[in-house]
Amino acid sequence: MKAKNKRLFTLLSLMIIFFLGCTILFKNLKNNLVFFFTPSEIINKPNITQNKIRVGGMVKKDSVVREVVVKEEKQIQKISFIITDFKEEISVFYSGILPDLFKEGQGVVVEGKLINNFSINAEKVLAKHDENYMPPELEFLNTSKKRN
């Protein structure tokens, strides 16, 4: 092979590898995306097909219920609470330990699978780590709080 052809060949094969890599990468990325919704979005858009989603809002006051269930001779704590964005509400079911900063009347993001249009089975509950810090996803809470 001539030097020029060889170079062209290397370049072409490198590009093919690069594009193949990118395709795999983005496909993989797409499968692992977790979309974020507000309670209103879930209730008004009833065709959410994603496997796993995140819902964020404020924990409604006096909505946290803790109960203990005995399952296979083990005590399991079941927690349920309501997330609101001041327009619509979503009930959350969770069994596990709540983060330190989880409080009624505070912002929270939960990750899990929707049971139906108004409730979700949470696998993770994420509360913010800093008092003053509001995740960009929950920014709407600040504005709607002021309005109310």
Contact 48, 114 (CB under 8 A): yes
Distance in angstroms (rounded) separating the CA atoms of residues 121 and 94: 6
Say whether 55 sits in a helix, a strand or coil. Answer: strand
Residue 137 interacts with other proteins (CB under 8 A)? Answer: yes
User: By rule CB under 8 A, what string of x and - marks binding of each residue 17-46 to other proteins?
Assistant: ----x---xx-xx-xxxxxxx---------
Residues making up the chain, counted from first to last: 148
Residue 72 interacts with other proteins (CB under 8 A)? Answer: no
Say whether 103 sits in a helix, a strand or coil. Answer: coil
**Residue among 106, 113, 119 nearest 39 (CA):** 119
Residue 100 interacts with other proteins (CB under 8 A)? Answer: yes
CB of 41 to other proteins, least distance (A): 10
Residue 130 interacts with other proteins (CB under 8 A)? Answer: yes
Mark the segment that binds other proteins (CB under 8 A) among 57-65, 81-89, 114-122, 126-134.
Answer: 126-134
Say whether 53 sits in a helix, a strand or coil. Answer: strand
Beta-bridge mates of residue 59:
83
Q: How many residues bind other proteins (CB under 8 A)?
A: 32
Q: Which residues bind other proteins (CB under 8 A)?
A: 21, 25-26, 28-29, 31-37, 52, 54, 66, 68, 74-75, 77, 96-97, 100-101, 129-137
